[in-house]
Every structure is written in structure tokens, then in C-alpha cells.
Structure 1
């Protein structure tokens, strides 16, 4: 009887707290907890704020907070609150991917097409093969392949997850290392830009639904025609109106891609990719990227953490994450060293670039979110990929910093 009365009191107390209040409790946690960990823990050297936010999102998910305090977890992250957070996260990540698409500079890559093509191809191809081999090993075991996945989709998806470089996070890291505007920084941006295109191209291939191929072909045809009209319009309107026009374009492309079955994230990327960064003031673009990361992306990180799961066993998830981390890091380093030999780079140059291109957090997490949404991977596979992405990203700055001190001449060489 006492237990029954206690649970009745708890239920009635819960009813007195409105959904908006619980939502604001969740937002308070999302913004305060990672900031305090980052600031008080002084983690900037190995884990910038964006990485701490991702890790905090994992900790607030069902695998950690939900397992330790299930009642509190269910109270704060109930259905209506999760639905509200997911809506904010969806728009946040669409804007982030859109900005990444705008910032692609393919003209520079074309000017140095031989070097860029060889380097980007090996930087992407070798870790993709290593990751695909790891995925083939996982195929026979239950709990890793999603219910809607064909074997080739799962293998290609895991392989590409190991090959991804997160261009926006790479930009943040190179700003921190003070090499973004140096020749080596611009070279690395060229390689990462080409890989970004390949990432979204592969995602579109994985999501291609042959039963709806007519709708998808129709979207691509309409997109091509609309792009011509949109670009004609953008160069004729004042810059202050381009931001509004760009956001309308983003929503329309996301809607069209999702309607066709290609996922709104593919639409967000192509919406930005057909836009020119020169249409906008660079400082305003940097400001927008910074504020999207500051204001709304933490909600996406929390939403990502809510998807983590350990149902096949924590040890197994960490084991798979470790295998994928080795495939990712080794593949990237081997690929860049091969490029260095072919292009006759200075000794150690390939290794330096290989470590800089390890940054996976954000774009890989976005990529894996899409695979999870489409049920190509399971929550457990997603959790392993998430751990791998965070670990590889945290390795970057501590490994690269001493290398840069020893190889200062490479920073200023423009080849």
C-alpha cells in the first residue's frame, strides 16, 4: 500500500509539471552540463566544446543516464519533449550541412586536380575498404545489421563511416592550430572538400530505392532545373536578401529529397553545394556557422545521444568501436602515405595530413543518423560508430600539435 501511495504521489507530481517546463529543464541540461565540463575540466586541448557536447549527449542517453536513473530519464526525456528536441535537431543539422555545402571550394580542387584527385581518392578509398572489411566480418552476427538493409548497403555504409572527414570540425581545428589560412590548410581543405562530395554521393546511392526510382529521378531533374533558376535569381538580389532566399531554398530541397526517399540531409547538402560562397560575406558565413554550432547544434548532439544503445552488451559495442577505430585511423594514414609517395611529398607530410583528416565527429554522426533512420544499421552499430567518431576526433589535436612544431616548413609550402 505504501509503495502504491508513493507512486501515486509521484505521478500526480509529474502531472503538475508542464511539458514546457520539462522541455526547459532538458534545455538547461543540454547547454549547462557540457559547458561546465569543458570550461572547468579545461578539455580544449584534446576535446573542444563540440566534442564534449557529443560525449555529454551520449552520457544523457538511455545507455548511461537511462540505465543509472531510469525514472529521472523517463521524466525529463519523455515523448513530447523528445519530439520537440528532435524537430529542433532536424532543422539545426540541415542548416549545418547546408553551410558545409556552401563552403565547398571546387575551383581550387580543379586547379590542382591531379594532386587533389590522388590524395582525396586515397584518403577516402583506403579507410573505406578497411571499414568495409570490418563490416563484412560483422554481417553474420545478429544485432548489427538493420532490418531494412541489404548486405551491400550495410557494408558500404560502415566503410564510408570509417572514411568520412568532418569538414566543419576540420576547419575549427585548423583555426585552433593557426594553419587554416596557411598553404597546408588550404591544401587539406581541397582534399576534404572532394571527400565531402563523395560522402553524400555514396549516401544517395545507399538510399536509392529502386521501387521509387521514378520519384527520385523526378526530384533530381526538378532540382537541376530549379538550380539554374535559383542561381540566376541569387546573383540579382541584394546580399541581405540572399540569406532568406537561401533558407527557403534549403527547406524546399530538403522537402523534395525527403519526399523522393533520398532523406532531407541529402537535400540540405545539395542545396548548399550549388551555392557559391562568394555570394556572402565570409565573416557573416563564419558568424552563421559559429552561431548554429552555439545555439542549436547542442540539441542535435543530445538527440544523437538519445539513440545510443548497448543491448547486445557494452563489451561487444566497445569491441566493434575499437575495430572500426583501427580501420579508420590505419586506413587514413596508409592512404595519405601512399599519396605522399606518389606525389613525392616530404617525409612525414602524409602522416601529418592523415591525422588532420581523422576528424569525424559531426559529419560521420550525421551520416550514421541517416543510416539509422533508414534502418540500415541498428542502435548498437550506431553507438559503436559514435564512439569511433568521437575517439578519432579527440586524437587529432594532441597528435598533430607536436608534429607541426617539428615540421614548420611544411605549413608554408604551397604545393
Structure 2
């Protein structure tokens, strides 16, 4: 296939993906689901689960094998500005009221699901044998299952928080910040899993080397890059929005650094967003953040489509359905239980603690990234990949209804959940009609 033909297929495929994603995203909102659920369903529909089962070979015509690597590159690039914007939306001032809550939630919300996930690797042994052989002695598979049960989808969680208008509430910020910490540690453990049992052929640094370089990277971002960026953006001759290329380059460079460490681009993008200087109102410059969020949100459906190509729901067997039941139960109990326990230890009321646990149970985007890494590294096969994708979908879809049962406030009452003595200003809620995934950053909320 010539370069011109590749470009034609990539452009055509992207057009179809974005259009279908928009339609299903709107449908998801009407059903009071996070908009990102529609995007995930669009990705599944364009894969072998639906389009691939239609006569005529439409899937292979629209997405020939030669084009998929290029679509994967587009998908990875889209993740960077999207996750950068998510981190920028965090209002960390709320944490003054809950200094103990975030560490406790992060630890319990990661360790308990990890333990249950590692145990699940042995529990499903009679039903599933990983590519690397039996579970016993297969450290890579055990670690991977532990991480798969422990991660939280920061992007999807941000979308839910944004759409409910609760980005300035204690529960919202504690959940988002703890989820960021959980996923950061999760990437390290995932890297260890790949090094222990991966067979992708990709070169990886040793775990000690990765840890040392990661600490050095974080120190550089916090103590060198952030002050320098603050001085640059605050210079007298700065033009509103004129430093967008600088900020975009920072996000990409940070993503490159973590990718080079084996931690995936998503984490570097998130860290870059966290160190963005804030104004007097506690929010970053919207003229710098909003364009990046919009660009990432526009192309994000490509990632879901690439992920959906490895999912064939129609191929599930009775054994796979049993795996689905076990993995879903482990995922829900571990996350909600761990989040609740951590929030209670951190001094949060019982109802708010339950809300935190339910929020951490969202897995969508981050889980799909981790599952793709596991599949590409040979830690799992396509059958378990499909099962775990469905677990991510089930846990994410159930988040909204459970929050409603818990009477978690919507946009109209969201600010009432912030302690009265909190120095936070009134929070604005993005307009879903003009907001891609519910209202990207640069505005004031948390991420999708």
C-alpha cells in the first residue's frame, strides 16, 4: 500500500470513528451515562464484535491491517493532550480540608484490589491458563491481574465528576487525586509485570533503574520544570494563549520521558498537567489548556476503536462468562471496599467514603490502556482481554446509577458538599452541549 493510500485510509477511518463516536456519545448522555461510555461502545461496534460480523468484509475494507499501526500512533498522541487537560482541572485547594484522606484512599484503593487481583489469578486457574504457562510461578501474569483490578480510569472519572459538577467537592477531588496516585504506582507495577513475564521483545530497563529514573524525573518536573514554566508564563510581555506551543511541547516531552521509562505516555501527560502553574483563582490559564483538551477529546475515539479491534464479544464461551463473573466481583469488591476503607481512615463521613469507593471503581480508559499493554506483551490472550474489557465497561456503566442511589449531588447542589470554611470560590459547571466529553479542562472541573 502506497503512502497516499495509507493517508486516504487513515483519514477515512478517522472520519468514521469520530462521527460514530459523536452519535453514541450523545446517546450515552441521554441515558445519563458518562459520554465516554458511548465512545467505548463505538470502538467495540467498529471491531469484530459488530462490524466484523457483517457480510461484505466492511471492517477489513475500512481498517486494513496496514493502516492499524498508523491509527495506533494517532490514538497515543490523542491521549497526551487529553490527560494533560485532565490533570489541569484538579482543584487541589480542596485538599487543605482532607490532608489525610488522599494518602489513605490511594493506599487502600490500590493495595486491597491488588491483593484480591493477585488472588484472582489463582482463583481463575481452573478456567484459564495464561500464555506464559500455569499461574504458579508466572509472576508477570499475577502482577498483571493485580494491576488490572487496581487501576482507576482517571479520564472517565474526570468525565463523571465534570458532568455532575462536583469537581470542587471533597469527594470529587479526593477521588481524582487518589486515582492519579493509584495509576502512577500502577504503571510502575505494570512495568514490573511486563519485565517479569512479557514476551513482546521490547527492551525494558530493570525495575530498580526504572524506579531511580522515575524519582529523578519527578524531582526535575517539580523543582526545575515547574518553577521555570511559572517564570516564563508570568513574564510581562506574555500574550494570552501565545505560549500554547510551549505548553504542548512540555506535555509531549513529559509523555516521552515516561514512555521511555516503560510507564506509558499517559502518566507523563498527567504529571505535566499537575505541575501547570495556577492563577489566583487556583485554575490554569484556560487559553493554554482548553485547546489541548479539545484536540485530545476530538481524536480520543481513535483509541477506543483501536482497542475494540481486539475485542470479539460473540466469541465468548461459557467458561469466559464464568471468568467475567469472577473478575467483575473481584473488581467491584476490591475497589469500592478499598476506597471506602481508605476514606474512613482519612476521616471522611461514611456516605462520602462510599461515594469515593464507587468513583474509584470506574476503569474505562486507563484499564483499556493497561489491557492493551498486557495483550501486546503476551501476558494475556484475546479471550481474557475481551473479558477484562467487559469488566471495565460494566464497572464504569454502573458508577453513575450507584452514585444516584447514594444521592450524590448533581450540578445544582455540588458546591454544598464543600466545607463552609473552605476558601474555594463558587465553581462553574461546563455546558454539556458544547463540551466534548462532558466539559474539558481549562474551565474548572476535573477530568474525563
Bucket of the pairwise TM-score, normalised by the shorter protein:
0.7 to 0.9
Q: In 1, Cα distance between the equivalents of 2:226 and 2:131?
A: 41
Structure 2 counterparts to residues 309-388 of structure 1, below 5 A? 309=312, 313-339=316-342, 342=345, 345-388=348-391
CA distance in 2: counterparts of 1:171 and 1:232, whole angstroms:
27
1:172 deviates by 1.9
- Any residues of structure 2 matched to 1:102-121 within 5 Å, and which? 109=95, 112-121=98-107
Q: 1:52 Cα deviation (Å)?
A: 1.0
Return the alpha-carbon distance in structure 2 between the equivalents of residues 198 and 134 of structure 1: 20
Equivalent residue, structure 2, for 1:412 = 417
Which deviates further from its counterpart, 60-69 or 136-145?
A: 136-145
Instruction: Tell me how far 1:145 sits from its aligned partner.
Output: 4.2
CA distance 1:368–1:284, shift in 2 (3 Å) = farther
Deviation for aligned residue 1:316: 3.5
Q: 1:319 to 1:44 in 2, by over 3 A?
A: farther
Tell me, in whole angstroms, the C-alpha distance in 1 between the residues paired with 2:414 and 2:248: 42
Q: CA deviation at 1:176?
A: 1.9
Match of 1:75 among 45, 61, 64: 61
**DSSP 3-state at the match of 1:301:** helix
Please give the TM-score of this superposition, normalised by the length of structure 1: 0.79
Alpha-carbon distance, 1:88 to partner: 0.5
Structure with more relative contact order (C-alpha pairs < 8 Å, separation 6 or more): 2
Structure-2 residue corresponding to 1:4: none
Q: CA deviation at 1:372?
A: 2.4
Helix, strand or coil: the match of 1:362?
helix
Hey, what's the Cα distance between the residues in 2 that align with 1:83 and 1:100? 26
Query: Does the Cα contact within 8 Å between 2:166 and 2:409 map onto a contact in 1?
Result: no
Q: 2:152 matched to which residue of 1?
A: 165
Q: Which has the higher helix share?
A: 1
CA distance in 2, matches of 1:221, 1:114: 23
Is 1:91 the equivalent of 2:77?
Answer: yes
Counterparts of 2:205 and 2:165, CA distance in 1: 47
1:325-380 Cα shifts (integer Å, max 9, x gaps): 21111222322443465456544333233222222111221222222232222222
Q: Tell me, yes or no, if the aligned pair for 1:118 and 1:339 is still in contact at 8 Å.
A: yes
Paired with 1:412 and 1:389, the residues of 2 have a C-alpha distance of 28
Q: What is the CA–CA distance in structure 2 between the aligned matches of 1:104 and 1:354, rounded to whole Å?
A: 18
Distance in 2, matches of 1:290 and 1:271, equals 13
1:296, distance to aligned residue in structure 2 (A)? 0.9
Match of 1:294 in 2: 297
Aligned to 1:308: 311
Offset of residue 409 of structure 1:
10
1:260/1:281 Cα in 2 relative to 1: closer, same or farther (>3 Å)? closer
CA distance in 1, matches of 2:230, 2:72: 34
Whether the aligned pair in 2 keeps the contact of 1:179 and 1:411 (CA below 8 Å) is no
- Aligned-pair CA distance for 1:89: 0.6
Count of residue correspondences: 399
Which residue of 2 is the match for residue 203 of structure 1?
A: 190
**1:290 Cα offset (Å):** 4.2
Tell me whether 1:393 sits opposite 2:396 in the alignment.
Answer: yes
TM-score by length of 2: 0.74
2:276 and 2:284 in contact (8 A); partners too: no
1:35 corresponds to which of 22, 33, 56: 22
Contact 1:254 1:264 in 2 (8 A): yes
Cα distance change, pair 44–318 in 1 and its aligned pair in 2 (3 A): farther
For structure 2, the 5+ residue unaligned runs are 197-202, 423-448
Between the aligned partners of 1:293 and 1:356, the Cα distance in structure 2 is 23
CA offset digits 1:215-272 (Å, max 9, x no partner): 7478548746754543343123236465423433444444444445554445444555
Match of 1:233 among 228, 244, 255: 228
1:182 matched residue in structure 2:
169
Indicate conservation of the 8 Å contact 2:229/2:277, yes or no. no
SS in 2 for 1:236: helix
Task: Give the secondary-structure state (helix, strand or coil) at the position aligned to 2:48.
Answer: coil
Q: In structure 1, how many angstroms separate the alpha carbons of the residues matched to 2:350 and 2:317?
A: 40
1:299-336 alpha-carbon deviations (Å, 9 max, x no partner)? 11111111224697444334323322211112223224
- Cα deviation for residue 277 of structure 1 reads 4.6
- Distance 1:99-1:208 versus aligned 2 partners, 3 A rule: farther
Higher radius of gyration, 1 or 2: 1
Q: Structure 1 residue 83: deviation in Å?
A: 2.5
| 1:6 alignment counterpart | none
Structure 1 193/107 Cα, relative in aligned 2: closer, same or farther at 3 Å? farther
